[in-house]
Amino acid sequence: MKSDRDYLKKQIILEKKKIQKLKKNSKYLERLAREKFYMKKEDEDLFVISSS
C-alpha cells in the first residue's frame, strides 16, 4: 500500500512538472500537439506513416 502511494506521489510530481513546462514553453506545447494529437496548421498537410 505504501509503495503504491509513493509511486502515485511521484507520478503527480512528474505530471505537475509537465503542466508547468506546457504553460511556459509554447514550442513544447506545439510539439506535443503535433506528435501526440496529430494537429497541424491550416496550410500544412499531415502524413501519418505506420510501421505495420
The domain segmentation of the chain, as residue ranges, is 2-37
Tell whether the model's pLDDT for residue 28 goes beyond 80. Answer: yes
Tell whether the model's pLDDT for residue 52 goes beyond 80. Answer: no
Percent of all residues in the chain with a pLDDT value above 90, rounded to a whole number: 52
Looking at residue 43, the DSSP 8-state letter turns out to be T
Burial zone of 2 (CB within 10 Å; 0-12 exposed, 13-18 middle, 19+ buried): exposed
Q: What is the mean pLDDT of residues 31-46?
A: 87
Percent of all residues in the chain with a pLDDT value above 70, rounded to a whole number: 100
- Looking up cell 498537410 gives 45
pLDDT number for residue 13: 98
The widest CA-to-CA distance across the chain, in whole angstroms, is: 51
User: How confident is residue 9, by pLDDT bands cut at 50, 70 and 90?
Assistant: very high
Q: 38 and 46 in contact (C-beta within 8 Å)? A: yes
